[in-house]
Structure 1
Amino acid sequence: MLGFLQARQAGLDDPLRLRRAESTRRVLSLELNHDRDVDRIHGNGVNSLDIEVIEGRYMLSGGADGVIVLYDLENYSGKPEYTCKAIGTVDRSSRHAHKFSVETVQWYPFDNGMFVSSSFDKTMRVWDSETLKPAEMFMFEETVYCHHMSPIARKHSLVAVGTKDPKVQLCDLKSGSRIQVLQGHRGEILSVQWSPRYEHILASASADSRVRVWDVRRAAGSLFTLDQHNGDKSKASSEAVNTAHNGRVNGLCFTGDGLHLLTTGTDDRMRLWNSGNGENTLVNYGKVCNESRKGLKFTVSRGCSPEFVFVPCGRSVGVYALHTGEHVTTLRGHFNNADCCEFHADYQELYTGGKDCNILAWVPVPRAPASEVEPRGSNKAAADGQSSVNPAFADAWSSDED
């Protein structure tokens, strides 16, 4: 780290390299923070988390009990031990609350005064975060599994919605109506994601084992369908042609630069794709346990080198190197299956929610370099007749009597 600082001070290195190195070091030291609690409000599993990017201060959670909670992550106590307080709750006592499980919650990307939620009660609701009352509601004929708003769109205000119907629904926040459907899947839509690079590019994952990439300006259908065999029909059976996984595809996540797309499936596999041409990069992550029968919310780090993937695997969260597939570590702390995770890029922290109704905070733990760490009570240096003083401060005077 000192080398990065000296190179930056001398103008020999890009300051971004120092930032990336420090972010990477912090992510590699993530541990469960026993000093930070998150108010336990949900009476059932936590399905979705989202942290707004305007201030990086407020977090939303949606639960299987139909409850939506708004948290303030700021520490006002001035002490290491504190609790992230719930500052707003839409629970069953509210006449505006969802009737069934809330599957997805998401902040409006450009203003933390609004957020959107979708639920098994066949509705998607647009909320005012000040009053916690819905400003708009969209009704659907089938169960809603997921929704997503583009993080960069300036020319449209579309929300993509996945339901039990095999058509991807596009809703316009400006007009308050459904304006378009994308047809091509043969099964229920379990996940949808807009590209963070191109505002008109959308990916959808379905129970039909397929992932389609769309340009919503085109009427001719999807741009392409992801094929795990990269077009080699000799490796695929007739049923597996143009399939992304050998099971239900229930998770999608673009990398921060939008150049790659990650998918997860019930075949216990995670795959990395080139989002430009749909090519399978063939990165091997090994077995990634996936027990979810609906959408799985996983996430990718931002600002690190290399980047890391955080994916719920049973009761734990697996951490993988994005481009090599290396299993870096496993974060254990939930008492039941983990269902969602959200990365806080400002502080390199991770929040996870699970069926145990808990939201856990994983934070970087600073560690001294290994060369500076001595076991407590160690007398190895004394036994070797060597001083434990840093050589830079050792006495270098010579004596004529020796």
Structure 2
Amino acid sequence: MLNLLASRELGVDSPACVFHAETALLAHSLDLSKYHDFQKIHRGGINSLDLDPVDNRYLLSGGGEGIIGLHDLHNTTGVPQCTFPTICTVGLSNRYRHKFSVETVKWYPLDTGMFISSGTDKHLKVWDTNSLTTADEYEFSGVVYSHDVSSIATKHCLIAVGYLGNSVRLLDLRCGSSIHTLKGHRSSVLSVQWSTRNEYLLATGSQDSKAMLWDIRRANSSLMMLDQHNGDASANPNSVNTAHDGHVNGLCFTPDGLHLVTFGTDERLRLWCTATGRNMFVNYGRINNKCRKSITLAMSHDSKPEIVYVPSDNNIGVYGLFSGTKLGTLRGHFSQVNCCVRDANTQHLYSAGNDRNILLWLPQTDTVRAYEAHLTGDSNKAHVTRFTQRIAATADAWSSDDD
């Protein structure tokens, strides 16, 4: 880092190099926070989390008992140690609530005044955050496994829904109705995800072992079907035109939208080029995946190299996106981890699972270590000294930018 700062000062490297290096350092150093906790509201496993994209302050959680919680992540105590409160709950007494498990919760991308939930009661509900009442509701013929709303769309306001059927439904929030059905899968659609680059591009994963990319402007068929063998005629004929040899229950686009990560019950993680649909053949090794429902992966933002966080049984695996190298394992849950979301601004990671716990994973910066030393009475001031040196170096960098 000091070499990068020196190169930046001399004009050899751009400010972006220092930024990406520091972000990667934070992303590599995640560890379970010992001084943060969440108010307990869930009586069953937590299936889904979503962080609001406007302020990165409010965290939604959806539980197996039908409860939805809204947690405030703003720390008002003045010290790092705190318990994040639940500011409102769609509880069992709410007459609009889901009758059974909530499988997915999503914020409306442009406004925290609305969020969307779906679950095993075959309903998708659009909620008014202020009144905790449903502004709209849709009923399906089977269990709703996953839904997603595009965070970059400017020309449509569509919700993509994967459910217990062999098609994907597109719901238009503007007119309050289903406008289109995407047909191509042969079994239930477990996971759906909008592209982070193209507002018309949608990825889907199904129990039929297939992952597809769709251009929703095309009415006849999918844009491409991902093939794990890249069309190799000598491959096993039983797995041709399949992305995995098991259910595809995890999807995640990279922040730039150029690549897609898929996760399957064949215990394989695969990386695809979204422009060509080709398998990049990155070997991540075997990753335990016994879950039969949708799993939420997380991706690092602005770090070089890029990192993907993958729920695997009771842990979260940390992998280099393009190298496939396992960089570490985040341990802290006592049961199956179902979801993890990342704050792009602070590099914090939030995870939840069947143990009913929401955990916070923090970068181990010198500030955190100095606070731990203070709490434990450690007389070693090295962490504080390093923190002071880093602040001074950053101040010098800012001064050079201002000159």
Is TM more than 0.5 here?
yes
Aligned length: 370
Q: Which position in structure 1 is the counterpart of 2:249?
A: 250
Q: Which position in structure 2 is the counterpart of 1:105?
A: 105
Q: 3-state DSSP class of the match of 1:61?
A: strand
Separation of aligned partners in 2, 1:318 and 1:299: 11
Q: Which position in structure 2 is the counterpart of 1:386?
A: none
Separation of aligned partners in 2, 1:54 and 1:366: 25
**CA displacement at 1:46 relative to structure 2:** 0.6
Separation of aligned partners in 1, 2:365 and 2:301: 19
- CA RMSD, Structure 1 to Structure 2 (Å): 1.5
Separation of aligned partners in 2, 1:10 and 1:220: 56
Q: Which position in structure 2 is the counterpart of 1:4?
A: 4
For 1:109, the aligned partner's letter is P
Separation of aligned partners in 2, 1:64 and 1:49: 12
Q: Which position in structure 2 is the counterpart of 1:315?
A: 314
Separation of aligned partners in 2, 1:152 and 1:377: 50
Structure 1 portions without partners, runs of 5+? 369-375, 379-402
Q: Which position in structure 1 is the counterpart of 2:349?
A: 350
Separation of aligned partners in 2, 1:77 and 1:67: 27
Q: Which position in structure 1 is the counterpart of 2:195?
A: 195
1:119 is the counterpart of 2:122: no
Q: Which position in structure 1 is the counterpart of 2:44?
A: 44
Q: Which position in structure 2 is the counterpart of 1:262?
A: 261
Q: Which position in structure 1 is the counterpart of 2:147?
A: 147
Separation of aligned partners in 1, 2:98 and 2:300: 31
1:130 is the counterpart of 2:122: no
Q: Which position in structure 1 is the counterpart of 2:333?
A: 334
For 2:182, the aligned partner's letter is L
**CA displacement at 1:289 relative to structure 2:** 0.5
Q: Which position in structure 1 is the counterpart of 2:163?
A: 163
Q: Which position in structure 1 is the counterpart of 2:175?
A: 175
**CA displacement at 1:367 relative to structure 2:** 5.4
Higher share of residues assigned helix: 2
**CA displacement at 1:134 relative to structure 2:** 1.2
For 1:305, the aligned partner's letter is K
Q: Which position in structure 1 is the counterpart of 2:385?
A: none
For 1:61, the aligned partner's letter is S
Q: Which position in structure 1 is the counterpart of 2:305?
A: 306
**Mapping of residues 288-299 of structure 1, within 5 Å:** 288-299=287-298
Q: Which position in structure 1 is the counterpart of 2:389?
A: none
Q: Which position in structure 1 is the counterpart of 2:86?
A: 86
Q: Which position in structure 1 is the counterpart of 2:401?
A: none
**Mapping of residues 205-220 of structure 1, within 5 Å:** 205-220=205-220
Q: 3-state DSSP class of the match of 1:111?
A: coil
Structure 2 portions without partners, runs of 5+? 368-377, 381-403
Separation of aligned partners in 2, 1:18 and 1:62: 38
**CA displacement at 1:366 relative to structure 2:** 2.0
Q: 3-state DSSP class of the match of 2:327?
A: strand
Separation of aligned partners in 1, 2:131 and 2:8: 47
Per-residue deviation, residues 280-332 of structure 1 (Å, max 9, x unmatched):
00000000100101111111111110111101111000000000000000000
**CA displacement at 1:220 relative to structure 2:** 2.0
Q: Which moved more, 1:317-326 or 1:108-117?
A: 108-117
Per-residue deviation, residues 334-374 of structure 1 (Å, max 9, x unmatched):
11111110111111111110100000000011259xxxxxx
For 1:13, the aligned partner's letter is D
Identity %: 49
Separation of aligned partners in 1, 2:151 and 2:319: 24
Separation of aligned partners in 2, 1:236 and 1:157: 41
**CA displacement at 1:4 relative to structure 2:** 2.8
For 1:242, the aligned partner's letter is N
Separation of aligned partners in 2, 1:113 and 1:233: 52
Q: Which moved more, 1:351-360 or 1:121-130?
A: 121-130
For 2:3, the aligned partner's letter is G
For 1:115, the aligned partner's letter is F
Q: 3-state DSSP class of the match of 2:85?
A: strand
For 1:101, the aligned partner's letter is S
For 2:146, the aligned partner's letter is C
**CA displacement at 1:113 relative to structure 2:** 1.4
